[in-house]
Amino acid sequence: MKKEIKIDGMHCEHCAAKVESALSSLDGVKKVKVKLEKGLAKLDGDVSDEAIRAAVSDAGFSVTGIE
């Protein structure tokens, strides 16, 4: 399942790397690609929206939408 996650608060490559590693560490995630300039992450895998929101907020950012 592919999801596009809109994330608020990423300002540099360091932020993007934090989000990428937080999402990559979730069970069921196959692939994560963060697009810093667009403020979003593309995720492929079997993971709930709740788990995604929790991982992103634990990393210090906020999810504004998942589709």
Residues that bind Cu ion (CB under 5 A): 11-12, 14-15
Q: CB of residue 66 vs Cu ion: minimum separation in angstroms?
A: 22
Closer residue to Cu ion (CB): 3 or 18: 18
Closer residue to Cu ion (CB): 14 or 33: 14
Q: CB of residue 43 vs Cu ion: minimum separation in angstroms?
A: 20
Long-range residue pairs from 41-45, CB within 8 A, at least 24 positions apart, any chain: 41/4, 41/5, 41/7, 42/2, 42/3, 42/4, 42/5, 43/2, 43/3, 43/4, 43/5, 44/1, 44/2, 44/3, 45/1
Closer residue to Cu ion (CB): 14 or 35: 14
